[in-house]
Amino acid sequence: MELNQASNEQLRDWEKALTEEYQRYQASGLNLDLTRGKPSAEQLSLSDEIVEILGGDLSNQANIDLRNYGGLDGIAECKALFAPVLDVNTDEILIGGNSSLTLMYFAVLFAHSQGFGELGKSWLSEGNTVKFLCPVPGYDRHFSICEHLGIEMIPVALNDDGPDMDEVEALIKGDSSIKGIWCVPRFSNPTGTVYSDAVVERIAKLGSIAGSNFRVFWDNAYAVHALTDSAPDVASLMAKCKQFGTEDSVYLFGSTSKITYAGAGVAFMGMSKANLKAFSKHLGMTQIGPDKVNQLRHVRLLKDAEGLTAHMRKHAAVLKPRFDIVLQNLEASLAGTGMAEWTAPEGGYFISLNTLPGLAQDVVRLAAEAGVKLTPAGATFPYGKDPENRNIRIAPSVPTQEEIDRAMKVFVNCVKLASVRQKLAQA
Amino acid sequence: MELNQASNEQLRDWEKALTEEYQRYQASGLNLDLTRGKPSAEQLSLSDEIVEILGGDLSNQANIDLRNYGGLDGIAECKALFAPVLDVNTDEILIGGNSSLTLMYFAVLFAHSQGFGELGKSWLSEGNTVKFLCPVPGYDRHFSICEHLGIEMIPVALNDDGPDMDEVEALIKGDSSIKGIWCVPRFSNPTGTVYSDAVVERIAKLGSIAGSNFRVFWDNAYAVHALTDSAPDVASLMAKCKQFGTEDSVYLFGSTSKITYAGAGVAFMGMSKANLKAFSKHLGMTQIGPDKVNQLRHVRLLKDAEGLTAHMRKHAAVLKPRFDIVLQNLEASLAGTGMAEWTAPEGGYFISLNTLPGLAQDVVRLAAEAGVKLTPAGATFPYGKDPENRNIRIAPSVPTQEEIDRAMKVFVNCVKLASVRQKLAQA
């Protein structure tokens, strides 16, 4: 039934039935968790060969002793393997440790307080509060970095084709203290949005609108994480930038955290040679070099672009049924009710759902009290504040298919219950 | 011959003979390197078992999936293994990635601009230029961190028993903007100094002299890196601090970079529970967790304190003959000349030599021009400036014994040549 079509009497009946159903869930002692944006054990096992893959053979192209210090920018084989993932040249990539988040933190930190070497002075030196544009909903750990470093966040709308570029361009033109924008261009966290070619082109042009110290933080975390072979690709930002002469305005990030082992993977960062030079100089103050032995493990396991694609198909085979169960439940119970809208991503790790305005916190609380843990409402917005209190992130990768199905039954009940109760309160 | 006993004629003869010897070295096309403070391939091979040691078995005490995200503070087994190295409890240690330098960088960064949680506000918030005490000669990468973060460095003398504590205490009492001191308490880089119990006790008391935001940066990089079983130990800083109620005033660091693989080891940081809470909160902004699989490798290889000791004896067996060759050459050619004084460390990676004032750069240049590369003069001082221009760091771990012997023959010739020429110029 469409919520707005229901009479007050129908709403009261509906509320009663939903409450009874809710109480049954509460009584059944569930303990399910849809918060964890991480691979399942089944996915991690796809890479188990990596642990012993070296067989004691550490031979490598450059014939260096991978066991020793050094090699701040990573090993050549790893550059060759991951440069195509970011669509950059092998002299435009740095291979780091196990965390792209650390590379992002350093990239923001260095830009904020250290500057860009020959390319420009630090943001701080300009004397204004630094601001970032944050397409919302987005990834909470991006927002945490900004908050930690005292950077003011300005939310901008994330449309079906990417950030609202009219808004982005207007804001940047009007305020030179805006120094960055967070982007997850393919299968955005949490909406699954893939940026259109037109949006990527406009993002590549931001470098010519903004000052020289502006940077796009292009977190291509799900670059190769499609659920189907037909999922849309994202245009090459670096290629577009080279076309417009803006290649110094972008930092690209990626990692194998959701390719091999989430905790023992390899992170990488693509950027212009001028940026790489300045960034490496700062990075060299914080470490002597990454774990090159682990980089070699990744090369031996994934081999090349083809090996990577084949490996990611195995992940898709594990993930796709989980996404399908979430979507089937949403479709079966919420379609046509006017109570929610949601995304049907073709890759990534999340499904994003919007309740009616003002209900996300209620739904998350109701679900928690019935034994289903959801990501806190607001987490997908800067400062944890969803102005409309409606966005909920669903992460189906870790629970089993059966668990997801049970959790979703509870979830849709909670959405409906909160919606009907709100409607009744307004009547 | 004692330099000061030589007549001008003797000096001229001496200069001639030394120059001829020098020219022979120059003509012989040497290419030797005494700069690299890193393990040799022979030492790295002592740990080669580590690469395949897991045999696919990732079982662990906490029964967590080590392959996945999480565990910011490291795995329990690794805490148990390395807590004794820093002489802290297992709830006073954090096990990180492959670089203690990164932990140090973060520790200074967070203290400087983020603060200590409930323990205190950031150094920056006090409004003064932050200053650090730097016992000299010391480790250039400590100094780089300070320089990178805009912290002013004040050199203090490193005596045979540790930093000159009269000087340290007086400076701290007189200037509340002094917020830290760098210490390498056992086998200091480059002198090999082991801090005496009395010095450790006075360092533990600094927390009650200085303000609550003062921190001792205790880089125990060579904690278990003795060359002989009889090498002096260093007192437990944390134990002393607990005695004086100053345990929040110290950060302790260590790593396996010179135990297992220099590039693929495990770093750790010991601190009070209150510090650990505040530090972890900041660290969690920069990463989700360390490589726990590699942590388990270290536990399987080194097992326990006994295993660690046995392993370090193998390192000593490789290193000790190299140190002996350096010392034998210095003794044979420079003892009694009044041209140099040097340390005879019982552990660590370096031998420190002081030329006559004003000659270190000359000696390094002469050696380079004869094919022997030495660490740049001044590198062991803040801002790369040795005020007396006399300290030279000798790193004998990487070259073969024969190479060290040849390099040292050149080195002592250069020291003597520079000394005699200086004396002649003064005559």
DSSP string, A34-99: ----S--HHHHGGGGGGGGTTTT----TT---TTSS--TT--HHHHHHHHHHHT--GGGEEE-SS-
pLDDT tens readout for residues A95-148: 999 999 999 999 999 999 999 999 999 999 999 999 999 999 999 999 999 999
Q: Which domain holds residue B78?
A: 62-303
**Whole-angstrom distance, CA of residue A245 vs CA of residue A247:** 6
**Whole-angstrom distance, CA of residue B202 vs CA of residue A322:** 61
* Inter-helix orientation angle A76-86/A292-302, to 10°: 60
Cis peptide before B190 (omega within 30 of 0): yes
pLDDT tens readout for residues B313-348: 999 999 999 999 999 999 999 999 999 999 999 999
pLDDT tens readout for residues A160-202: 999 999 999 999 999 999 999 999 999 999 999 999 999 999 9
Q: What is the pLDDT of residue A46?
A: 92
- Evaluate the CA torsion angle A147, A151, A156, A161 in order and state its sign: negative
- Evaluate the CA torsion angle B241, B246, B250, B252 in order and state its sign: positive
Please determine, for residue A76, whether its predicted confidence score (pLDDT) is greater than 90.
yes
Q: Tally the domains of chain B.
A: 2
Out of B260, B280, B303, pick the residue that ends a domain. B303
Across residues B344-366, what is the average pLDDT? 98
Q: Distance, in angstroms, between A81 CA and closest chain B CA?
A: 20
pTM to 2 decimals? 0.97
Please determine, for residue A334, whether its predicted confidence score (pLDDT) is greater than 90.
yes
Q: Are B290 and B72 in contact (CB under 8 A)?
A: yes
pLDDT tens readout for residues A272-283: 999 999 999 999
Please determine, for residue B396, whether its predicted confidence score (pLDDT) is greater than 90.
yes
**Whole-angstrom distance, CA of residue A92 vs CA of residue A101:** 19
Question: Same domain, yes or no, for A324 and A270?
Answer: no
- Among residues A115, A102, A118, the alpha carbon closest in space to that of B150 is found at A115
**Whole-angstrom distance, CA of residue A276 vs CA of residue A271:** 6
Q: What is the pLDDT of residue A163?
A: 98
Average model confidence (pLDDT) for chain A? Answer: 97
Q: In which band, very low, low, confident or very high, does the pLDDT at A427 lie, cut at 50, 70 and 90?
A: confident
All residues of chain B having their beta carbon less than 8 Å from the beta carbon of residue A292 are 263-264
Q: Do B261 and A109 touch (CB under 8 A)?
A: no
* Percent helix, percent strand, percent coil in chain B, to nearest 5: 45, 15, 40
Q: Do B65 and A287 touch (CB under 8 A)?
A: no
Question: Same domain, yes or no, for B250 and B352?
Answer: no
Question: Same domain, yes or no, for A99 and A222?
Answer: yes
Across residues B291-307, what is the average pLDDT? 97
* 3 state DSSP class of A106: helix
Question: Same domain, yes or no, for A274 and A408?
Answer: no
Question: Same domain, yes or no, for B107 and B205?
Answer: yes
Q: Are A1 and A345 in contact (CB under 8 A)?
A: no
Q: Do A294 and B290 touch (CB under 8 A)?
A: no
β strands within B261-330, DSSP E: 267-270
Out of A272, A303, A334, pick the residue that ends a domain. A303
Which amino acid would we find at residue B172? I
Please determine, for residue A381, whether its predicted confidence score (pLDDT) is greater than 90.
yes
Question: Same domain, yes or no, for A96 and A12?
Answer: no
**Whole-angstrom distance, CA of residue A291 vs CA of residue A216:** 27
Residue that has been written with the tokens 């300009």 in this structure: A126
Q: Using CB atoms, pick whichever of B48, B98, B145 lies closest to residue A291.
A: B98
- Among residues A184, A207, A193, A192, the alpha carbon closest in space to that of A100 is found at A184
Question: Same domain, yes or no, for A113 and A211?
Answer: yes
Q: Distance, in angstroms, between B44 CA and closest chain A CA?
A: 7
Question: Same domain, yes or no, for A290 and A392?
Answer: no
Which amino acid would we find at residue B395? A
Q: What is the pLDDT of residue B1?
A: 82
ipTM: 0.96
With b meaning 16 or more CB within 10 Å and e meaning fewer, what string describes A358-395?
ebbbbbbebbeebbbbbbbbbbbbbeeebeebbbbbbb
Q: Judge whether A49 lies within some domain.
A: no
Query: Could you tell me the CA-to-CA distances from B203 to B29, B178, B179, B195 in Å, in that order?
Result: 48, 14, 13, 10
Q: What is the pLDDT of residue B427?
A: 80
* CATH number, residue B148: 3.40.640.10
Question: Same domain, yes or no, for B280 and B315?
Answer: no
Token pair of B382 as six digits: 């803040």
Please determine, for residue A372, whether its predicted confidence score (pLDDT) is greater than 90.
yes
All residues of chain A having their beta carbon less than 8 Å from the beta carbon of residue B294 are 264, 291, 294
Q: Using CB atoms, pick whichever of A47, A67, A102 lies closest to residue B44.
A: A67
